[in-house]
Structure 1
């Protein structure tokens, strides 16, 4: 197969795809507008599950960003697991998630897709060290580099509420280091890379598509509001899967007709 790192006369992507791809390739991420009607359905499902959590101390909290008024630090992970269990009882949540980000997924990843079976929910209460997500890249742990992570904030995220990432140019520059960085603890690695990291401000109504092969994570939330976000991986159905397998971690969601027919094809051996 020809090298795919440069455009050629055989690159038939339209201008919209090329523009999105150039931005994604330069920074390692791109921010796009969500399809708001589907985003609101996602948020409604999460809010309903939140208010059904038995350990909530105050039922009058009307905004997700004020969740810390009704939940203790030691209950944040239990709340997260409770909500995830509620969300994934059927595929309506997954369908709404896909439709929320459909345009950018198709531009960057294609339209014959597999989707992560259980998207990940993040709830980061102010000053709760248990909610910190240590710096990592998903590909360091058996995740395919062919995946696209669609990260959706459910509240406005600024400063320490943001996802941070090592932008692609900084990552390429630091790859020349010979410091055996992956042998460091996560805290040591964070401190080593901290000056090169970028915290990405984003508002509710926007979506972040990012390359999960770049180091990223959440630091301690030092703001006054609770961070809420959800992330889900998409990939081309026929691309390599590594440790996260189709039918286990991923489910096919947009299998086209020729693929379906080809999978069921039987050669007429009896005619020979």
Structure 2
């Protein structure tokens, strides 16, 4: 075996051990915290977002955690969040973050991978309930349990500013989590805020759910992988720093999930296909009756 072949074999073995251990925790709890095998693009994204905030504001914020000190108005925050999201999408950072973890994700989710085309970029300032979605279960909003949310912070998060999860809730029946659906006069279907990830008809879980949740402190270079059936969220950032993050939906390309749904016609984009799937697609192109 050549030196290159030995290196590839070692990397594959390491990735296998990594995703197997992470996978066991994910199945049990509905979430798992992972130190990314290749965090370089995450750090690059943080640097680029900081520079873009500086450009928008016309002065330096030094670090993203201090964002709230310069942006107090909710209207200004939404305007900046939209501009940052456009920048984030146009720069292709999310796709590169996911692609950099290919060896791990191929074992964790599958060799055929779709990723959200326009993943949400979130900004949660301290003491601002409007910046948060509250506690929710994404399957209540039409998401599939086959999907995985890859929550990537671009700021370090302590217990007060961190996302919160309800371990094991991904396996519970929907009846265990009754909700009240409310309308939001500011957000309409297909609006700019809806495209930023704010639901136009949020489904609010009972307050006691928050009491049973636990925080997941994180640092830049880690990712929180969550089942879409997991109860999670935060009612307000109770910390002293701004949380800036992205939640990227990822799904196996062979899972029974529509790639065109919701507020976007191109909700998912294919990142890569296995050789067997590529070969099968050649066959089904000429034999459409055998297509899934």
TM-score by length of 1: 0.80
2:105 aligns to what? 105
1:128 aligns to what? 128
2:210 aligns to what? 194
Q: Which runs of 5+ in 2 are unaligned?
A: 1-14, 183-201, 288-292
Aligned length: 249
* Pair 134,256 (structure 1): closer, same or farther in 2 beyond 3 Å: same
Report the Cα offset of residue 192 of structure 1. 2.4
Distance 2:164 2:238 in 1: 14
Distance 1:194 1:45 in 2: 34
Q: What whole-Å deviation, never above 9, does each CA across 1:213-265 have from its counterpart, x for those lacking one?
A: 11111221122111111110111111111585496100111023443343233
Distance 2:180 2:39 in 1: 43
Is the 1:59–1:70 contact (alpha carbons within 8 Å) kept by the matching residues of 2? no
RMSD: 2.8
Distance 1:23 1:132 in 2: 27
1:23 aligns with 2:25: yes
Distance 1:80 1:146 in 2: 29
Q: Secondary structure at the match of 2:160?
A: helix
Distance 1:166 1:212 in 2: 12
Report the Cα offset of residue 109 of structure 1. 0.5
Distance 1:42 1:210 in 2: 21
Distance 2:204 2:16 in 1: 43
1:211 aligns to what? 227
Is the 1:114–1:237 contact (alpha carbons within 8 Å) kept by the matching residues of 2? yes
Q: What whole-Å deviation, never above 9, does each CA across 1:63-91 have from its counterpart, x for those lacking one?
A: 00011122123122221111111122253
Q: Which runs of 5+ in 1 are unaligned?
A: 1-12
Deviating more after overlay: 258-267 vs 218-227: 258-267
1:68 aligns to what? 68
Query: For residues 1-272 of structure 1, what are the structure 2 equivalents within 5 Å?
Result: 15-34=17-36, 35-53=38-56, 56=57, 59-74=59-74, 75-91=76-92, 93-168=93-168, 177=176, 181-183=178-180, 189-242=205-258, 244-245=260-261, 248-265=266-283
Q: What whole-Å deviation, never above 9, does each CA across 1:84-104 have from its counterpart, x for those lacking one?
A: 11122253x233211344344
Report the Cα offset of residue 49 of structure 1. 2.2
Q: Secondary structure at the match of 1:228?
A: strand
TM-score by length of 2: 0.75
